[in-house]
Structure 1
Amino acid sequence: SRVVRGGAFSHGRQYTRCAFRKYIDPSRRSDNIGFRVALALSLVSG
């Protein structure tokens, strides 16, 4: 089964948790479905 994890920035906070799961029909397409790329930045104090 296709499952969406987490939510979009426009969703309520109950949907933005990583633990959130929702079944999505495999034929469905949406701008809100995909993956996010994250990069950890190190802060440099001046």
Structure 2
Amino acid sequence: MAQDDIEEAYSLRRSRMTNAAIADRMGLSKDQVYRAIKKRRL
């Protein structure tokens, strides 16, 4: 997963989208979205 994907997932999460909705939109699994957001927060 590229850095810009991580940034996008993080910003979508900040706009109150659920992980499942982000995963659908970006073509990822919920688990990948969760890990990307966790990584971004560190």
TM class by shorter chain equals: under 0.3
Q: TM-score, normalised by structure 2?
A: 0.26
Question: Greater share of strand residues, 1 or 2?
Answer: 1
With a CA cutoff of 8 Å and minimum separation of 6, indicate the structure with the bigger relative contact order: 2
Higher CA-based Rg: 1
Question: Greater share of helix residues, 1 or 2?
Answer: 2
